[in-house]
Amino acid sequence: MSLEQFNNAPAEDAKKFLRPCLDVDRWVDEIAQARPFASLEDVLKHARTAAEPFSHQEIEGALAHHPRIGERAAGTTTEAGMSRSEQAGVDQQDQETITALAEGNRDYETKFGHVFLIRAAGRSAGEMLAALRERLAHTPEQEEPIVAEQLREIAVLRLEQSLLERSLSA
């Protein structure tokens, strides 16, 4: 879907297009209702502040859709494909880092009760592992706003890539 198609799509189609970027109803609804957008930058600017701030329940719900860092997302959904692309910096042959990420993920989930989330696109496995280890020292109160910001960064990046890919192929 190009930006023009997104702007002119029925509301339900626009929401369906947005949901793989971030499965938070309020975020999806606010962006769909704000159409039409004059440019890609305008829609991304709106996406950066839509549904601000995310509630604890919205964060928890959105995290349920994210695979662990270092694990390849299974399935053929748009969201799974996006996740695999975003985690391209994780070399599945680097067993030492994969093992360290798995251990860190378990420690993080035990401490915080949900998956470790980081905008993986453009980051190496080593950078993600370092961030994971650093964030394990946080309290839940310190970590929640970081997770919310990472969700937003991922959502905006996914939206940008989806609109650019569709515009270029149109």
Q: What is the pLDDT of residues 57-116, one digit of tens each?
A: 999 999 987 888 877 655 556 665 565 565 655 666 678 988 999 999 999 999 999 999
Q: Does domain 3-169 have CATH number 3.40.50.11740?
A: no
Q: What is the DSSP letter of 52?
A: P
Cα dihedral across residues 143, 19, 55, 50: positive or negative: positive
Mean pLDDT within 132-145: 97
Predicted local distance difference test score (pLDDT) of residue 122: 86
Mean per-residue pLDDT of the chain: 88
What pTM did the predictor assign?
0.85
Contact indicator for 101, 129 with CB cutoff of 8 Å: yes
Measured CA distances, 62 to 18, 35, 40, 76 (Å):
13, 23, 24, 18
Between CA 29 and CA 50 the distance in angstroms is 9
Quick check: 10 pLDDT over 80?
A: yes
Q: Where are the domains of the chain?
A: 3-169
- 86 burial via Cβ count (<10 Å: 0-12, 13-18, 19+): buried
Q: What is the CA radius of gyration of the chain?
A: 16
Quick check: 37 pLDDT over 70?
A: yes
Within 10 Å of residue 90's Cβ, how many Cβ atoms?
Answer: 23
